[in-house]
A and B are shown apart, each in its own frame.
Chain A
Amino acid sequence: MQNNLNMLLSSFALLLLSVSGMAQATPKPRPAPKEEISVKLTSPDKPFRLSIGLTEGNIKVITYSGKEIVVEAELNADKKKPAPNANQNTNTNSNTNINTNVPGLRPKKETSFTGRYVAVTQTDNAVGIGPVKPFSNINVTIKVPANTVKLNLSIAQGGDISVKDVKGEAEIMNPNGSIVLTNISGSVIATSINGNITVSFASVTEKAPMAFSTLVGKIDVTFPATFKANMKMQSDDGTLFSDYDMLFDGAAAKMNKVNTPTLYRTNISGKLSGRVNGGGAEILMKNMNGNIYIRKQK
């Protein structure tokens, strides 16, 4: 009887051990953890600034009906190499409120949040977002209120930038990836080296100068039909496509009809400049290789 009990106990212990051993041998695949940080603006109804600089990853900016800036960040799963130590379980989420009062000046209120992947700071409606570990490859999605915004987005080493429905000034730099801006109201300055630039405007700030440049890639911009501009198109061997009635400076350029009923084309071969709807804002579109599309909003 005693023997039996001993055996039972020992086998039970063995079972436990083996189960725990098994558990250790095959750890559950953790779902890629996602973090979300919400930041209040100092003046929620006023224009704000949003600056994001990543080394690698993707940036997506969309609007929503809320008043706060909501930052969602996760490791970029598409890439094979994860950032070192990125999966550590310690949650380093820390929030700090720093009040720096300079006598005689309006007190500046800085709020900063450091998450697992991104650090977010907010000072007087200026929001800055950057990676916690300088070289991590992360996807950042930012939901912003519909206020006017000054956007400043950049990724140094690849990945894509997309912005949707935003109103204000956008300054985008993405040397090794694409830039896609949809339904923008305001003005855009976008530059890439190896990526395409695709922009569509809902409305344009009158007389605001803009520039779109990439070295190897196409530039495709859709403006409102009544858009007034002085366009400068420059490309080594790209072709210009447009459905605007463009009045070219100098007699050299002539638009030829393409198959589609409204689109016209002409070789840029260096430089072209022309006026749209009588002239207005100074717009530069420049690449080395790639076509340039200037479309009329339908």
Chain B
Amino acid sequence: MKCDKEMLTHWLNNQLTNAERQEFEAHLAECTACRQEVKEGTKVLVLMEQIQVPQPAAGMEARFLGMLDAYTQSVKKDSIWKNFNSRLQQLWSFQPKLQLAYSLVLLVIGVTVGYLFLNKSPKDNSKEQITMLSSKVEDMRQMMMLSLLENPSASQRLRAVSYTEEITNVNAQIIDALLRTLNEDPNVNVRLVTLEALIKYSDRSRVREELIRSIANQESPLVQSALADIMMKLQEKRSVEAFKKLLEHSSDSNPVKPKIEKTILQLSI
């Protein structure tokens, strides 16, 4: 065991457990340094024991309590006045600080905004603002359209599709959403209206390709018929393969079968 100062003090104060004491005493037998320290420690303890502790004078407690009493009395007397006073001070000192800070902030904002506005010619500025605003409105419309397309109500999804008419810059994200609706929407009418909206973008090659790809996916004879109309109008010969595939899968009772056969025939010429 190494020399442990802490153990040593505990031993001197007699604060060790039996096991610890035995262990420490064994160490003490071997270690001269520790023995020396113990000797000095005991000496200090003995000396401390000899110091006389002065006893408190007889009337001290009574005198102290009296003093305390007198003090609390004086504090109480003061406190009402002081409280009022401090409140008043708060009113006059604290609040104006806040107000001042607030008005300063307003002033700074006012000055910077005014500076920014004045720095540009007013005509430019309003134009810029209008374009900024309209682009924001457009962004909002896009967001609304995209989120409404996920709505469980078919009426809301129809509304979403009709929003595309108001969006001037129809980007790939919107086209994707429309194509997904065309292929996956559970309501036939929503698919029909979506198809109607997509026709406007049929000059984009991607839309055209996706429309052709969609032919084979459509279960509803109404949508099949609408797609046949569109392909006829676009004179899209690449759609013939898709229609042929569709006919392979559809039953003889499909009422648009003759129409599709006619479309294939006319497009194959």
Contacts and interface: CB of A to CB of B under 8 A. Distances in A.
B187 A209 contact: no
A288 B155 CA distance: 23
A220 interface: no
Contacts of A284: 189, 192-193, 196
Nearest to A281: B162
B188 to A, nearest CB: 4
B222 A213 contact: yes
Contact of A286 (B158, B162, B187, B226): B226
B225 A288 contact: yes
B222 A215 contact: yes
A282 B162 contact: yes
Interface in B217-231: 220-222, 225-226, 229
A191 B189 contact: yes
Interface string A80-92: 0000000000000
A187 B255 CA distance: 29
B5 interface: no
A116 to B, nearest CB: 30
A232 B197 CA distance: 12
A216 interface: yes
B84 to A, nearest CB: 50
B193 to A, nearest CB: 6
B155 A171 contact: yes
Contacts of A193: 220-222, 255
A215 B228 CA distance: 14
**What does DSSP make chain B's interface, helix, strand, loop or mixed?**
helix
B34 interface: no
Contact of B189 (A189, A215, A236, A288): A189
Interface in A157-193: 169, 171, 173, 187, 189-191, 193
Contact of B222 (A150, A208, A286): A286
Interface centre among A212, A234, A270, A286 (most CB of B within 10 A): A286
Contacts of B256: 215, 288
A210 interface: yes
A288 B221 CA distance: 10
Contacts of A236: 225, 259
B82 interface: no
B154 interface: yes
Given A209-B155, A282-B158, A189 B187 contact: yes
Interface string A210-228: 1111111000000000000
A232 B188 contact: no
Given A169-B153, A286-B222, A191 B158 contact: no
A133 B250 CA distance: 28
A194 B193 contact: no
B188 A208 contact: no
A189 B259 contact: no
Interface string B153-171: 1110011011000000000
Contact of A288 (B161, B162, B196, B255): B255
A209 B155 CA distance: 6
Interface in B152-208: 153-155, 158-159, 161-162, 187-190, 192-193, 196
Nearest to B189: A211
B222 A171 contact: no
Contacts of B226: 234, 286
Contacts of B221: 193, 215
Specify which of A173, A215, A232, A284 lies most central, judged by the most chain B CB atoms within 10 Å of its CB: A215
7 contacts: A171-B153, A171-B155, A171-B187, A189-B190, A191-B187, A211-B158, A282-B162
Given A208-B159, A209-B162, 12 more contacts: A171-B153, A171-B155, A187-B155, A189-B189, A190-B189, A191-B222, A209-B158, A211-B190, A236-B225, A270-B229, A286-B222, A288-B225
Interface of B: 153-155, 158-159, 161-162, 187-190, 192-193, 196, 220-222, 225-226, 229, 255-256, 259
